[in-house]
Amino acid sequence: MRNDHIQKLGFALLFLCVIITVFFLGSIIYFIVVRGAPAISWEFLTEVPRRAMTQGGVAPAIVGTFYLTIGAVLFALPLGLACAIYLTEYSPKGAVVNIIRMSINNLAGVPSIVFGLFGLTVFVKFFGFGVSILSGSLTLAMLILPSIISASQEALIAVPHSLREASLAIGATHWQTIKRIVVPTALPGILTGVILGIGRAAGETAPILFTAATFYMRGYPDSVFSEVMALPYHIYALMTEGTKPDQQTVIAYGCSLLLVVLVLLISAIAIYIRQSRRKIYGH
Amino acid sequence: MRKIKESIYKWLFTITAFASLAFLVGIVIVLFKEGIPILKYIDFFPFIFGESWYPTYEPPDYGILPLIAASFWVTIGAMVICVPLGIGTALYLHELAGEKQRAVLKPTVELLAAIPSIVFGFFGMIIVAPFIQRLLNIPTGLCAFTASLVLGIMAIPAVSSIAEDALSFVPRSFKEASFALGANRWQTLTKVVIPAAGSGISTSIILGMSRIVGETMTVLMVSGGAAVIPKSFFSPVRPMTSTIAAEMGEAVMGSAHYNALFAIGLLLFLITLVINLIAEIISRKYRLKLGLNR
Amino acid sequence: MDIDIRPVRDGIKEASDGNAGRNESTARPNDRANQFRSAKNGAVSNGVNLARMHSQNVNFYYGKSRALSNVNMNIHENKVTAIIGPSGCGKSTFIRLLNRMNDLIANSRLDGKIFLDGKDINAPGVDVVDIRRRVGMVFQKPNPFPKTILENISYGLEINGRKDSGFIRHKVIESLEKAALWNEVKNRLNDNALGLSGGQQQRLCIARCLAVEPEVILFDEPCASLDPISTKKIEELILELKKEYTIVIVTHNMQQAARVSDYTAFMYLGQLVEFGQTEKVFTVPKQKQTEEYLSGKFG
């Protein structure tokens, strides 16, 4: 075969890959949207469930997901940012940092169900928080901690060294330089990491399986020690428990649509911030 | 005064950093502490290679080979789907897509990586499984094949994002040098760009694999849940992750079953650890090769 | 502790009420400054080195490799001292020692002493932050903060605890005027500094440095990334600034050294080969190496 024929064939194959990918992923979105949309109504968004989950809304699950996610970020952000600042700005360079960085990378790859096991043992049992918003938030926080650390670290490292020097040369202290120059400059990158973390925390199911989630609540959680409903767990529970699969499936479609819209919206914001930052720095 | 303030900040950060790391190290400790006691009930080899998993029978059986085999098959199947599609998409995005196409496709792919796995599980259970069942005329659509298919699709965006990053690190000059020698775009792509980004692409494959091995909700919902060594790709299976998720609720704390589930967690952890370490080593070499100092 | 020996300039004095205790040194450094001035070029009187800054037997190591060996140099008050030499000769390393910027480099080691107004700047107990306030620096590549023009200059004042906006405003204008940038930016003080041209950015960095009222200003190849016109502006500025400040400039451009400096130091392979008044160094160099470098035989 002549070279340009091979080229045409190769390019056609690549194009095929894209088509298949887009088809698969597109069809998921399509089904979720088309079948989920009819389930969504004002009542669905604002009411508590009725008649053993076959009617009413999913408001407690929405609220629960919100609490769990906010809780996770409240724990993970300060810890993660402080850890990243320590690693890039304070820690002695060399072997120590490398080991820490490697363990963070590896922990980012630990299966989410393993975090669930940890949360069960430590937060639910050992600290006695029980199956609760607090235990779930802490478990989710651990899950997103590595990604917040590495995103923040990357953003901090990307701050040009010359800016640090400039600040120090005017007589700023190390801390003033970090607080007023380094962190503000790295903020969009840090923000991207945090928002992606929020998206991840909102969608995760396995870590809250034994630490926070419950299938059915009549009302809203009243303290951080309450069990909660959560959108992702609710989808699972609707599909595997209960007695009226047909009616439950409709609700599960609605929940899936809500969750997808929520997570895609959050991630879109993060990606948008990243893109606009790329433009500024001309990468 | 100023110096004291400075060193207070330094200590504050040092303590927080090590606290959060201790937090993470805790995972390893917990897994060992709760998982190792299973060896009181069953020896190591019968545990790993035992062919039956009946934790609630009397007497119980704690052989996890069926679970390992299930994870293995599902992962292999998913890799067969996500690797060519993910990398093909990355190559297309990097090499062929025009500015406009790229501006739309790249963020879209990144966005799709964020769809929660529960949604894929739900989709697999309600759409894909019945479809496969009818198409192949098998007793149930909830089987290793469906799990592979859904997991494979799920991992495409992640694989393709990382591979695309690796491709974009290949210096432009490599390509220009190849064009200058009269190579066409396809030759340049296969003979210059792909080899140069080779280890970055392998990293994307390995990290995709790590994600598939550890994925829980999707397999829990679509793999069928039978804890027997799969006879074919179309029989129901129960991978390690879904075993933990499905049975932890019932296991009595401190019982042999409970310890067995933690031991499975430990095994999972070790598997992903090895996979991630390999990825780490490859990507480090890769950076050296391209002279990237990061 | 009488470490804080920074001279009390009138501007700072008035302004430092909110900062009680910082400038309470009883010695009036102006007296000492006058002493220095009278000592002028002779620099050494009664065995005491009276140059504004001087280095004594300075050796500097990056890990095991030695970047500077035995450098002794005087930097005179209100003069421009140029350091020239081929790349890798240690000139940048040396200038960065003068305000302790090399503290930031891991695995490096300094042997020997560097004095500012007769005090060892590396002595235990000396606050590095204080040294850097007194000895400002302008870098090779313009490095404005990704903030507004105004914020770039007010930053140095704010970190010193100055909150009085009237004073800050006044100081910003004064610094920009001194840096010959005011007319170009007066209508866009709230624009991002990254929108300025390279030459303007560099003058902004100079203004930023001037705002904190340093006594010595170090220029580390300030024109390395600038076009000839911007370079000329910076050079004119340096000549203007030397009336008030003591200036050290590292440059790889011999003509630039000849144009702006009063003293020239020629460094080669980490050693100070020759030091003297610029005219003399350029017209009748004492060392053969200097002559060869100046005539373009190497470097």
Which residues 116-155 of C have a C-beta within 8 angstroms of B? 127, 129
Digit-coded pLDDT (tens) for B49-101: 888 888 877 788 888 999 999 999 999 999 999 999 999 999 999 888 888 88
pLDDT at A53: 63
Residues of A with CB under 8 A from a CB of C: 92-94, 160, 162-173, 176, 180-181, 184-185
pTM, to two decimals: 0.84
Which among A61, A101, A42 has a CA at the least distance from the CA of A259? A61
pLDDT at C14: 38
Whether C188 maps to a domain, the answer reads: no
Domains of chain B by residue range? 44-290
CATH class, domain B44-290, is mainly alpha
Whether C290 maps to a domain, the answer reads: yes
- Percent of chain A scoring above 70 in pLDDT: 95
Closest-approach residue (CA) in chain C for B6 = C129
Q: What residues in C contact A94, CB-CB < 8 Å?
A: 106
Q: Does C145 touch chain A (CB under 8 A)?
A: yes
Q: Do B117 and A85 touch (CB under 8 A)?
A: no
Q: Do B115 and A115 touch (CB under 8 A)?
A: no
Instruction: Identify the domain containing residue C256 by its residue range.
Output: 10-144+214-294
> What gap in Å lies between CA A279 and CA B175, rounded to an integer?
24
* Cβ contact A77:B255 at 8 Å: no
Which portions of chain A are predicted below pLDDT 50? 281-283
Whether C101 maps to a domain, the answer reads: yes
> pLDDT-derived band of residue C21, with 50, 70 and 90 as boundaries?
very low
Q: Do A169 and C136 touch (CB under 8 A)?
A: yes
The predicted model gives B175-203 an average pLDDT of: 87
CATH number, domain A42-281: 1.10.3720.10
Whether C171 maps to a domain, the answer reads: no
> pLDDT-derived band of residue B154, with 50, 70 and 90 as boundaries?
very high
pLDDT at B35: 92
Q: Do B248 and A106 touch (CB under 8 A)?
A: no
Neighbour subunits, C (≥3 Cβ pairs < 8 A): A, B
Q: What residues in A contact C137, CB-CB < 8 Å?
A: 165, 169
The number of C-beta contacts closer than 8 angstroms across A and B is 253
Q: What residues in A contact B158, CB-CB < 8 Å?
A: none
Nearest to A170 among C104, C106, C209 (CB): C209
Residue C75: give its domain's CATH number: 3.40.50.300
pLDDT at B291: 56
Residue B215, sorted as left (phi over 0), alpha (psi -120 to 50) or beta, turns out to be beta
Residues in Cβ contact with B247 at an 8 Å cutoff, skipping those fewer than 6 apart: B55, B257, B261
> What gap in Å lies between CA A133 and CA B267, rounded to an integer?
28
Higher pLDDT, C162 or A260: A260
Q: Do A83 and B17 touch (CB under 8 A)?
A: yes
pLDDT at C9: 39
Which of A264-273, B201-210, C1-10 is predicted with the least confidence, judged by mean pLDDT? C1-10
pLDDT at C231: 93
Q: Do B248 and A200 touch (CB under 8 A)?
A: no
Q: What residues in C contact A181, CB-CB < 8 Å?
A: 145, 155
Q: Which secondary structure element, helix H or strand E, spans residue C82, and what is its range?
A: strand C80-84
Closest-approach residue (CA) in chain C for A90 = C104
pLDDT at B104: 86
Total domains present in chain C: 1
Digit-coded pLDDT (tens) for B234-267: 889 999 999 999 998 888 888 889 999 999 999 9
Q: Give residue A170's identity as a one-letter amino acid code.
A: I
* Cβ contact B133:B140 at 8 Å: yes
- Percent of chain B scoring above 90 in pLDDT: 40
